[in-house]
Amino acid sequence: MRVLVIIVLLLSLKILSAQNRQLLYNIQELPQTLLSNPGSVINFDKHIGIPLLSGFSVEVGSSGVSVYDIFRSDRNINNAIDTAISKLDNSDYFSVNQQLEILSFGWRSRQSDIYFSGGLYHEIDAILYFPKDIAVLAYRGNVDAIDKVFDFSDISFAAESLSVYHFGLQKKLNDSWQVGARAKVYMSVANINSIDNAGSFVTRSTPNGPNFFSHQLRDARLGIQTSGIASLFDDEVATDAREIASNALLSKNIGVGIDVGFTHFINEQWLVTGSLIDIGFVRHREDVASSSATGNYETNGLELEFPAAIQGVNTTAYWQELEEEFEDAVTIEDSLSNPYTSWRPLKINGSVQYSFGEDRGEACNCTSHLKRSYNNRVGAHLYSIKRPRGFQTALTAYYEKQWGNKLLSRVTYTYDKRSSRNVGLLISTKINKFNLYLAADNLIEYTNLAKARGASIQFGMQLVFNNK
């Protein structure tokens, strides 16, 4: 409990939004719960996913505006964009995350009581922070922003497509603790990022200067790195779909990572969980490209010198000199050979859960380490993901009910920067060994999804087995 309180205190400093699996976290009946906490409680002894169908999730979100805010049919779109630019700040973002499980399997060792699980999934993840200053400069110009500093650090985005091979184990240490870990190998298909940009542009009024203004580029440091992308735009390199698919299975841009997690049983009804997901990195060596611009520059315009010798007969190369001064002052570098490292976005989960409503009609499921079975669970789940501008956090309250051994439902309420009325629903049903689940959040917005600032949907199907 103290661990959870500390996590809450640390992360609640900045409650933001996040890509989240709040509907699947701590679901004992679903193997997918092991992907968000390898030390999670599960109540089955073996599982095998239906290839390509065992788990699919997609989430799209924006922290500041919805599709309706921009594209509403009763308003001029340019006015809507202008309003949005005023409303958004540089901490607002647009994000997409999609995961597709290709293979999924797991089994409990009869000798050691360790649950082994593994598989392969493909993930696409992208985040773009709203570049407020750059948007203002591009959309409105600098006329009403003389002496305003336009900050290049507003430019921040990252996107990646990768396949993840994983294998993990979960083990009960004693009656109070259960832990798990998962090793991962990342195969990057494509990556692009532009983070840690710095510098500024400002048009200073100069009442005592040689001209009206001084246009200043200060400590500019802009950069972009890509892998797996440059060859797509190179006419001399033929890249076909088979090569991209090949990279998805066995890429030369490889990384490693680990997930760790635990469940602590306070008593039979209370438990606390926590996990760290994707502590890892990818090293990009193949098909890499990078560009950067660094430097300082200042100009007041073109200074005419009226050389007496020419007196208008010939032109003086002031503009060319200005271009050369700029090129000398601002270094622009392009490279097709600089390897780089990208860090996976670390996810942190924490939860506290209370179970009640003992199921006296069902036999004890001893693999869950709970001596009794309960039909109802309520809990709070804290989720946080590390993004280029810091952690984005979401807080979820949930109520889960087991309707016999065939149907499970969970209702969630999630608060984050995107929404204060995010209600989600999970339905999981089991017919003999066949399990099917479907989950979606932001249900209140489903009457007009265009008004939602985020929505996610998850579904999957697999076979789950119990030894007893």
Amino acid at 321: E
Cβ-Cβ contacts under 8 Å for 373 (sequence gap 6 or more)? 358, 359, 362, 363, 364, 365
Determine if 450 is a binding residue for another protein (CB under 8 A): yes
Is the Cβ of residue 139 or residue 399 nearer to another protein in the bound state?
Answer: 139
Whether 345 and 386 have beta carbons less than 8 Å apart is answered as yes
Least separation in angstroms between CB 300 and another protein: 5
Whether 426 and 439 have beta carbons less than 8 Å apart is answered as yes
How far apart are the C-alpha atoms of 371 and 355, rounded to whole Å?
A: 12
Determine if 213 is a binding residue for another protein (CB under 8 A): yes
Q: Which residues pair with 250 in a beta bridge?
A: none
Least separation in angstroms between CB 309 and another protein: 9
Least separation in angstroms between CB 84 and another protein: 12
Name which position in 233, 319, 326, 356 contacts another protein (CB under 8 A).
Answer: 319
> What's the burial of 27, exposed, middle or buried (CB within 10 Å: 0-12/13-18/19+)?
buried
Is the Cβ of residue 5 or residue 446 nearer to another protein in the bound state?
Answer: 446
Site string for another protein, 67-96 (x = CB under 8 A): xx--xxxx-xxx--x---------------
Q: What's the token pair of residue 8?
A: 């809450």
Determine if 440 is a binding residue for another protein (CB under 8 A): yes
Distances from the Cα of 293 to the Cαs of 42, 221, 322, in angstroms?
Answer: 51, 6, 18
Angle, CA 55 vertex, CA 54 and CA 61 arms, to 5°: 165
> What's the burial of 268, exposed, middle or buried (CB within 10 Å: 0-12/13-18/19+)?
middle
Least separation in angstroms between CB 212 and another protein: 4
Name which position in 5, 51, 234, 318 contacts another protein (CB under 8 A).
Answer: 318
Name which position in 111, 208, 311, 420 contacts another protein (CB under 8 A).
Answer: 311
Name which position in 87, 112, 141, 175 contacts another protein (CB under 8 A).
Answer: 141
Is the Cβ of residue 434 or residue 446 nearer to another protein in the bound state?
Answer: 446
Least separation in angstroms between CB 449 and another protein: 5
How far apart are the C-alpha atoms of 238 and 248, rounded to whole Å?
A: 17
Q: What's the token pair of residue 348?
A: 């942190």
Name which position in 241, 308, 334, 432 contacts another protein (CB under 8 A).
Answer: 308
Is the Cβ of residue 76 or residue 420 nearer to another protein in the bound state?
Answer: 76
What residues make contact with another protein under the rule CB under 8 A?
A: 67-68, 71-74, 76-78, 81, 137-144, 146, 203, 210-213, 215, 299-308, 310-312, 314-320, 323, 403-404, 406-407, 409, 425, 427, 429, 438, 440, 443, 446-450
